[in-house]
Structure 1
Amino acid sequence: MMIWLSKLLASFRYALEGLKYTLVSQRNMRIHYIAALIVLLLSLYLPLRKVEVLILFVCILLVIVAELINTAVEAVIDLVTEEFHPLAKVAKDVAAGAVLLCSGMAVVVGVSVFYPYMGFLSLSHLEGTPYSRNIGLAALIAFNFFLTLMIKAVAHRLGKWNWEPSMTTSLASCIATSLMVIVHNLLATLLLILLTALMMGTILHNKERKNPAILGVILGALVAVIAFRLM
């Protein structure tokens, strides 16, 4: 019995060592922990329902678990080979992609949960905005992300690398266009157009990325316009 108990305690100790290692060595894990602390503090301050708190807990754990798996994959690959290998890059990129998806989902869920309580944080100018529109905007951005990713994959398989839309400009264009539709303010619209133009100007300095950047802007704007027509 004592041997079994000591092994059990040792397994807990090893698990805590793993958590400590990722927290000490991985910058992204530290960012996840800080975000988790902020979310938990907000959940204590705001009158959240039990289901909402449980959903936040699940999202926090999913992001941390994904980062742990990503760290484990990187450690195993570095143990096997220190030289560059295409398959090693694929493994690391796929593991990082899992973290990105979990983090994106956590952001969408967090915004959706906290949005109705923003009045408690003295953000009175947000009161009266339809909650369904907030959820619709989150779904729109997620749809644009996956659509852009699919088009990039198809273009890559066809060997048309120069026709892969830029994810950065696609998301930025989708968000900017959505805000222009929602805000209904000339000054804010002009500022958004200016910011988009500045971003495009910076990206277009790289001639190799000119087509992807332009395609991304067009794709993001089209997705936003069509989506708000359907909303």
Structure 2
Amino acid sequence: MWMIKVIKSFRYALEGLKYTVVTQRNMRIHFLVALIVLIFSLYLPLSKTEVLVLFVTIILVIFAELINTAIEAVVDMVTKEYHPLAKVAKDVAAGAVLLTAGLAVIVGLSVFYPYLNQLFHRFWIDSPHKPSMGLAAIIAFDFFLTLMLKAWLHRRGKTSLEPSMITSVAFCVATLIVAVIGNLIITLLVYFLTTLLLGLRFRVDSNRKAILFGALIGIVVAVVGVRFM
């Protein structure tokens, strides 16, 4: 009898995990990142302690997301109308997820930094590039290329694909900064700022294709331009 109860408990727990993965986009992102991290941990020569720290961090993030989902479900069950306390409950639960996710980023960078730094200097740039007027020329080229693409797509009636000038120039400048400095930490910080810019643009403009297209153009122009400097 006790074995049946244990099996049912496992089944209920798996149903809870399944529900969060199916209904919560953030949980799917957490699981995807966890899979990538675990693949890296199998490939890289990490110590037993480092692997255990990664496992604990992954479980903490997933646990926080589970609690967040449970609190949201309870709040929605109690009231469907807006209530300040309901908002507080959801915001606090989301804050817990944010803190654990931030901890996961710090732990991941601490563990993988030596290997990421080697890959960065091997595949991204051979050596930092000296600042010159060529950088200004690359930014100007990115500006005019983006403008021409916007005009061309507009004439063809594909206005939804017109690349965002703001994100194009921003990511071009960010990539040039990375090429000049040639440091992994600075690279992560720079692209963190540009990611915040993307989030802001997503809130202001619902046309995400145009925003992402602009970012892609800026990165490609900067990378190709630096190769020819």
TM-score (norm 2): 0.55
1:63 is the counterpart of 2:65: no
How many Å apart are 1:117 and its aligned residue?
Answer: 1.8
CA RMSD of aligned residues (A): 3.2
Q: Which amino acid aligns with 1:20?
A: K
For residues 133-173 of structure 1, the C-alpha deviation after alignment (integer angstroms, 9 at most, x for no partner) is xxxxxxxxxxxxxxxxxxxxxxxxxxxxxxxxxxxxxxxxx
Correspondence 1:44-193 to 2 at 5 A: 44-118=42-116, 121=119, 123-124=121-122, 183=181
Q: CA separation of 1:9/1:24 partners in 2, compared to 1, >3 Å: closer, same or farther? A: same
Corresponding residue number in structure 1 for 2:25: 27
Task: Structure 1 unaligned segments of length 5 or more: list them.
Answer: 128-175, 207-231
How many Å apart are 1:126 and its aligned residue?
Answer: 9.0
Corresponding residue number in structure 2 for 1:18: 16
**How many pairs align?**
141
How many Å apart are 1:43 and its aligned residue?
Answer: 0.3
Identity %: 65
How many Å apart are 1:116 and its aligned residue?
Answer: 1.1
TM-score (norm 1): 0.54
Task: Name which one, 1 or 2, has greater alpha-carbon Rg.
Answer: 2
Q: CA separation of 1:184/1:20 partners in 2, compared to 1, >3 Å: closer, same or farther? A: closer
Task: Structure 2 unaligned segments of length 5 or more: list them.
Answer: 127-173, 205-229
For residues 169-206 of structure 1, the C-alpha deviation after alignment (integer angstroms, 9 at most, x for no partner) is xxxxxxx9xx89x9399xx9xxx7xx88xx6xx89xx9
User: Which of the pair has the greater relative contact order for Cα pairs under 8 Å at 6+ separation?
Assistant: 2
Q: CA separation of 1:84/1:119 partners in 2, compared to 1, >3 Å: closer, same or farther? A: closer
1:9 is the counterpart of 2:4: no
Q: How many Å separate the matches in 2 of 1:20 and 1:184? A: 43
Q: Is the 8 A contact 1:46 1:120 kept in 2?
A: no
